[in-house]
A and B are shown apart, each in its own frame.
Chain A
Amino acid sequence: MATEIVELEGHIVDSLLLAKVLDLILESGADYRIDEFELGKTNIDPSRTTIEISTDDDALLDALLEQLQVHGVNRTSESDAALVTSDRDGVLPTGFYSTTNLATDVRVDGRWHSVENPEMDCGIVVTDTQVRTLAMHRVRVGDRIVVGFEGVRVHAPSRSRDMRNFEFMNSDVSSEKPKALLIEQVAQRIRTVKERGGKVLAVCGPAVVHTGGAPHIARMIRDGWIDVLFAGNGFATHDMESNVLGTSLGVSVAEGTPVEHGHSNHLRVINEVRRHGSIAAAVEAGFVTGGAMYECVRRGVPFVLGGSVRDDGPLPDTMPNVVEAADAMREHVPGVAVALMLASTLHAIATGNLLPAGVETFCVDINQAVVTKLADRGSHQALGIVTDVGPFVQQLAETLCT
């Protein structure tokens, strides 16, 4: 899509020039957005507006801009982004533009191009066909990287109209709000994005299993409400432990009491899954017969298990190389519209770093600090819900899976 920012200044209201220009834009088949508007105080003062015009193709935009020029519409005098060619793999040029997770445009050859996959803390690479973010380690010699701030513009985050429902809970972290109402609202958001073809991502920590939430996650996966799962070694391990041995970290999920020699239960499960070679193989062999990981395998829901330095085993599916794990997670980000961060600190923050700002993120944790930390990292559309994750996912599953 081609876009151009233009200015129109003068007695554009009284002379109906603004109305005319906007009509001409729409009549040509292009679209517009008023970026700024300053109304002159008196009928002598000029009014001023900047308008973003977007069209499907460059030729239409050029023709339209030429047509509008006679009515006083001028391109804003902005310059192209400076590009420097990378001379070393995995290294961005000095002075590289460091990205935010907000929708971003880059001006190349006099035209604004949307960055395809907004992600924070990356560089921006410009190819002949696209402009996209690029994590530092993925830079290759010859990549043309944006340096400096010229020719880069970032769109301020805005809550979508649908998010207005949430405005009454404007505090980003909500611990003193009626939970049933919150859960109903979350469920409604999930229904809405699913209807539009958006994906729902769940990021789960082991506490989901410890608090008895795993079967409800499994149910939501089975019923098609969760499209991608990110977790660590612990969640997957305890989910399968609870299925195979009925415990989570040695504590009976049904009774809530420790079982004898239970501390080694999760190690025995990891060991058997390693014997099978993968979680999928363990499911196929009938070793794992239910739970979240089982449903993922059964339904073909992709999951990424990112490893960490204190992992037991780890499971054969756990990716010990965290850079590769983050890359694997990146592959699943496009299309995600809702992210549920469920009692996870490490993986929730890692995921928050990868998501564009527009993804609606619900962060559920018993610890307010986790929720605050995620919001502090720039995840603008994060709504924190301070509550016990087990009952939360149970109610969410009951609301959705009816």
Chain B
Amino acid sequence: MSELSWGRRYLMCPPLHFGVLYEINPWMHREVAVDRDRSAAQWEGLVANLRAAGAEIELLEPKQHVPDLVFTANAGLVDGDVFVPSHFRHPERQPETAVFSEWFAEQGWRVDDLPEEIGHEGAGDALPFEGTLLSGYRPRSDVAAGPIISEMLGVPVRTIELIDDRLYHVDLTFCPLDDRRALCAPMGWDEYGRKVVDALVPEPLWLEDDEALSFCANSVVVGTNIVMPVTPARVGRQLEAWGFSVVESPVDEFLKAGGGCRCLTLALDVTLG
């Protein structure tokens, strides 16, 4: 058993302009107001918990009119010094692409673009597991992105269909823990996707439906520390039995927009292939 080779350096964006200004997933309701102070405190709490777990945090300057910029997981894909910016499905998030691309270019990353017509929502829809990128498709990303990303980054991609609108990104259904284990939410996948994950992950922790819908898979793993938005009791016990330290970092203000801890972070130290 060895720890993940990535997950010690993250990009985050303070929630200065965060709010539910539109509805692009079943969790978003414009009539539900975001508590600014609470969301800021939760975000700060997450930063503190990640730093305490041993992670470095880099900050992206928030921008007006792009409230979901806080969900940096959807910035794009990171592979060494290459950054592939996301192509968002919804027009509301499409202005984020230029903001993220600019930041990465300024920081010295090589920015490689996906073909214009191909949709893919970055690390939110593609997580590395033991040399393979597990990518979700249908709600936000196109199935055709899989082979293109594979060729661009030289990494095998397994593309699985996400079938539940509430679990609209793969990072709501899948969380790599180490080189053998991952949190897996089969309710989010069709039968073929379940078989693909079953073949990929030697020791999956299968989540019950209510556990999956708590967003506990949307957690951030820093070595043997796991920062979770919520920790269902059974899941927490299993993780601790496996030797992980679980820290709960509530982000329920962000759940109003359909995001958890993972959505608020983008790992910058990922090397694929």
Contacts and interface: CB of A to CB of B under 8 A. Distances in A.
5 contacts: A11-B150, A15-B159, A44-B151, A70-B137, A71-B161
B95 interface: no
A18 to B, nearest CB: 10
Interface in A63-97: 70-72
A44 B146 contact: no
A14 interface: yes
Interface stretch (B37-45, B72-80, B188-196, B214-222): B188-196
Contacts of B156: 11, 14, 42-44
Contacts of A11: 146-147, 150, 156-159
A46 interface: yes
B192 A20 contact: yes
A9 interface: yes
B74 to A, nearest CB: 20
Which 3 interchain pairs have the tightest Cβ spacing? A10-B147, A16-B192, A43-B156
Nearest to A9: B147
Interface in A9-44: 9-11, 14-17, 19-20, 42-44
Given A11-B158, A15-B160, 15 more contacts: A9-B147, A10-B143, A10-B144, A10-B147, A11-B146, A11-B157, A15-B158, A16-B193, A17-B159, A42-B156, A44-B151, A44-B156, A46-B147, A70-B143, A72-B142
Interface string B186-204: 0000101101100000000
A16 B195 contact: yes
B150 A15 contact: no
Given A44-B154, A44-B156, A14 B161 contact: no
A72 B157 contact: no
A391 B146 CA distance: 67
B138 interface: yes
Interface of B: 132, 137-138, 142-144, 146-147, 150-151, 154-161, 190, 192-193, 195-196
A14 B154 contact: no
Contacts of A20: 161, 190, 192
Given A10-B159, A71-B161, A15 B146 contact: yes
Given A10-B143, A11-B156, A44-B156, A16 B196 contact: yes
- Name, among A10, A11, A15, A71, the residue most crowded by chain B CB atoms within 10 Å (CB to CB): A15
A71 B147 contact: no
Interface string A299-312: 00000000000000
- The contact size tier of chain A is 10 to 19
A44 B153 CA distance: 10
Contacts of B137: 70
A161 B196 CA distance: 35
Nearest to A46: B147
Given A10-B159, A20-B190, A70-B143, A15 B151 contact: no
A43 B157 CA distance: 8
A44 B159 contact: no
B150 A14 contact: no
A72 B150 CA distance: 15
Contacts of A15: 146, 157-160, 192, 196
B150 A44 contact: yes
Contacts of B193: 16
Contacts of B144: 10, 72
Interface in A367-387: none
- Name, among B155, B161, B192, the residue most crowded by chain A CB atoms within 10 Å (CB to CB): B192
B192 A17 contact: yes
A191 B174 CA distance: 60
Nearest to A16: B192
B39 to A, nearest CB: 34
B144 to A, nearest CB: 5
A17 B155 CA distance: 18
A19 B193 CA distance: 11
Interface string A206-232: 000000000000000000000000000
Contacts of B142: 72
B163 to A, nearest CB: 11
Contact of A14 (B138, B155, B158, B190): B158
A371 to B, nearest CB: 51
Contacts of A16: 192-193, 195-196
B196 A70 contact: no
Contacts of A44: 150-151, 154-156
